[in-house]
Amino acid sequence: MSTTALAGRRTVSGHEQALAAADTFAESLSDSVIDRDRTGELPVAELQRFDASGLAAITVPERDDGPDLPMTTLAEVIRRIAAVDPALAQAPQGHYLMVDVLAVWGDDDQRATLFPEVLAGGRFGNALAERGGTHAQDLRTRITRDGDRLRLDGRKYYCTGALTSRWLAVSALDGDRLVLAFVRREARGVTLDHDWNVMGQRATVSGGACFEAVEVDPRRLLDYQRAFEVPQQLGARAQLVHAAIEVGIAGGALRDARWFVTEKGRPFFEAVRGGWTETAGGDPHVIQRFGRLATQVRAAETLLADAAAVQDEVGRRPADAEAAARGSIAVAQAKAFASEVAVQVASDLFSMTGASAADEKHDLSRHWRNARTHSSHDPVDWKYHHVGNWLLNGAFPPNHGQL
């Protein structure tokens, strides 16, 4: 297998090539991650590099001329990028979900039209969640039919990746059916907002989108509801990417804690006077805390790898409800644990480094802000509830897009 340059874009055809591309992309983000966190500016150049890296196409099915790399590869790719900049790791999360949707539910024409665009460096942005209803999936966006013409109207929020995508995947109701409409980002009637003003994950620029009388090609309308009328893994596979982001945040925070302790930190005076150490890294309490956190991060990495392996075993089309449940539960465990570990490591970083690490020039608070912002979208209590209910009572987890 090789990584080949093609008109400024690279094609990635194997696991090791994907990891190498992820490492190269992540390294290109390291010097500017603090500036992006501080400004929240749209990372256009960075996402152009991602699109050119070939990483957006790694899960395109083989029958559609893609490399069809497994979830074990995707999870590790996202983890490595997130350890440097979790906001940029999150930007293509919805894209990979839409690749899965098309792989399982797209018809021949949809696949023949949309997958070549992905292979050419195009990326999907999501437009799924809404505000104003009783919950984020209480949809008011509608498809209106006028003969053979379809019109899309509605407003979305948290449209991660949309501002720099080639296509938007918009959830809507067509009568009483849940559908996805694939529309061009530049289509007439599409307006994308920069109204993303949060404490963390700022460079995802996950603002809103307004659709006013947007004409939809009937061939680009997909019946999304049927995906959740049978055992599925769309939700679990999407959640696995989120889990990888959390694990990456935890690893990045641990890395920076080690850097500060060994390169910048001073020991607490009691440790010096007591004859324990003359360095911050020799403080027995710092050693103990770092060792515990490092073990938790390693456990989170292991759970992530295990959940990805289960996903590869179950596949995009689980054989039955039992297989789907196994896949969903494995991801739920990895996601819930990683969310807690990321927040803890990012917070305990300051317990090991002292007040000098709070200097804004280091921007170490971004790890906690990113972890807390990202993990708040999906309550870990519900994950643990479904895990416990499955193990204790044999209750299948719900068959929706969050599991």
Q: Summarize pLDDT for 31-41 with one digit per residue, the tens.
A: 999 999 999 88
Kindly tell me if the per-residue pLDDT of 366 is higher than 90: yes
Q: Inform me whether the pLDDT recorded for 391 exceeds 60.
A: yes
Residue ending a domain, choose from 202, 225, 248: 225
* 258 and 348 together in one domain: yes
Choose between 148 and 104: higher pLDDT: 104
CATH number at residue 31: 1.10.540.10
Statement to judge: residues 150 and 278 lie in one domain: no
- pLDDT at residue 276 tops 50: yes
User: Does residue 288 belong to any structural domain of this protein?
Assistant: yes
Same domain, 242 and 380: yes
**Residue 348 and residue 244 in one domain:** yes
Interior CA angle at 236 toward 230 and 239, to 5°? Answer: 145
Whether 258 and 323 map to the same domain: the answer is yes
Structural domain includes residue 401:
no
* Token reading at 44: 């256009």
Tell me, yes or no, whether 326 lies in a domain.
Answer: yes
Residue 325 in tokens: 């449940």
Q: Is position 213 within any domain? A: yes
Say if residue 402's pLDDT is above 90.
no
167/242 same-domain check: no
Residue located via tokens 């460079």: 203
The pLDDT value recorded for residue 247 is 98
Q: What is the mean pLDDT of residues 147-173?
A: 95
Closest CA to 156 of 172, 144, 145, 167: 172
Return the minimum-mean-pLDDT range out of 16-20, 71-75, 145-149, 252-256.
Answer: 145-149
Which residues have a Cβ under 8 Å from the Cβ of 356 and sit 6 or more positions away?
264, 265, 266
Q: Token match 């599991």: residue?
A: 403
The enclosing domain of 185 has a CATH number of 2.40.110.10
Of the ranges 10-19, 202-211, 229-238, 279-288, which is most confident?
A: 229-238
d(C-alpha 133, C-alpha 313), whole Å = 37
238/382 same-domain check = yes
The pLDDT value recorded for residue 9 is: 66
In a domain, 206, yes or no: yes
Q: Choose one of 87, 104, 122: the last residue of a domain.
A: 122
What values do phi and psi take at 27, rounded to 5? Answer: -60, -35
Q: Which of 339, 373, 324, 313 is nearest to 244 (CA)?
A: 339
* Domain end call among 122, 145, 178: 122
Domain limits for position 294: 230-393
Indicate which CATH number applies to the domain containing 273.
Answer: 1.20.140.10
* Residue 3 pLDDT greater than 80, yes or no: no
Helix (H, G, I), strand (E, B) or coil at 291: helix
Same domain, 385 and 241: yes
152 CB contacts (<8 Å, ≥6 apart)?
141, 142, 143, 144, 170, 172, 181, 183, 189, 211, 213, 214, 215, 216
Asked whether residue 234 falls in the same domain as residue 221, the answer is: no
User: What is the spatial distance between Cα 208 and Cα 132, in angstroms, rounded to a whole number?
Assistant: 13
Residue 301 to residue 238: CA distance in whole angstroms: 17
Side-chain half-sphere exposure of 302, counting CA atoms within 13 A = 6
Contact 141, 211 (CB under 8 A): yes
CA dist 163 and 42 (Å) reads: 8
What mean pLDDT do residues 9-33 have? Answer: 95
Decide if 12 is inside a domain: yes
Count CB neighbours of 70 within 10 A.
Answer: 16
Structural domain count of the chain: 3
Same domain, 167 and 67: no
Helix 108-119 × helix 93-105 angle, to 10°: 150
Indicate the pLDDT class of residue 8, thresholds 50, 70 and 90. Answer: low
Q: Are residues 143 and 171 in the same domain?
A: yes
Helix ranges (DSSP H) in 315-400: 321-353, 365-375, 380-393
398 is a domain residue: no
- Residue 234 is assigned to a structural domain of this protein: yes
The answer to whether residues 216 and 176 belong to one domain is: yes
Helix axes 234-263, 284-314, angle to 10 degrees: 160
